[in-house]
Chain A
Amino acid sequence: EAQVTQNPRYLITVTGKKLTVTCSQNMNHEYMSWYRQDPGLGLRQIYYSMNVEVTDKGDVPEGYKVSRKEKRNFPLILESPSPNQTSLYFCASTTGLAGNEQFFGPGTRLTVL
């Protein structure tokens, strides 16, 4: 089944404790992206990757890191999480360009205390 998977689905952590949210897709998509969703603010792009070893900042990259060492994986790293990073996170992928149909993962609900 074609899908985007994220882990963990739910995470409660404390300020400053490094964490990684994994994202994997099995559709051989070149493009992958991370979004955060907060009430009233819609989806905001954090980072995206056009292909392996090619990443770039979205609108809200501060406090996040990403890597794209393999085509299928695009982990999101929070080196020192803070409470303002409490949010619902989505990973997405698509073939080709960002405007084409994006397939979203199920989401990761992160709470930073």
Chain B
Amino acid sequence: GQSLEQPSEVTAVEGAIVQINCTYQTSGFYGLSWYQQHDGGAPTFLSYNALDGLEETGRFSSFLSRSDSYGYLLLQELQMKDSASYFCAVRDQSNTGKLIFGQGTTLQVKP
């Protein structure tokens, strides 16, 4: 079957660096996305990796290794406002409209 695995919870302190991992098992692969969702809010797009390597956007970076079916989101200089849920999502190549989300990682940033 198709699945994505992420840790359910991560805790870190303000100013620290945290990495949220995502491993996937899908029938096809056409890119890994990351979304952030604050409690009660809509998911917002953070990044998209179609090729191997690191993509950097400000304090957030995302990495992909297609050979390992693995990616991660790296958050640097953590701020309290980064406390949220983070979802990885994979576009299934076999069906270009289908997007499969992981169950999400709840990040708690402590002072």
Contact = CB atoms under 8 A, between A and B. Distances in A.
Interface stretch (A11-19, A77-85, A97-105): A97-105
Contacts of B87: 42-43
Interface residues of B, number: 25
B96 A98 contact: yes
Contacts of A59: 98, 100
Contact of B42 (A40, A48, A105): A105
Given A42-B102, A90-B43, A99 B97 contact: no
B92 to A, nearest CB: 8
Interface string A34-75: 010000111111001110000010110000000000000000
A98 B42 contact: no
B61 interface: no
Interface residues of A, number: 28
Interface string A83-112: 000000010100001111111111100000
Nearest to A99: B91
B103 A99 contact: no
Nearest to B4: A42
Given A90-B42, A99-B31, A104-B44, A43 B95 contact: no
Scoring B91, B97, B102 by chain A CB atoms within 10 A of each residue's CB, the highest score goes to B97
B101 A101 contact: no
Interface of A: 31, 33, 35, 40-45, 48-50, 56, 58-59, 90, 92, 97-107
11 contacts: A35-B101, A43-B43, A45-B101, A50-B97, A56-B95, A92-B43, A101-B33, A102-B45, A104-B43, A105-B42, A107-B42
Interface of B: 30-31, 33, 35, 41-45, 48, 50, 87, 89-91, 95-104
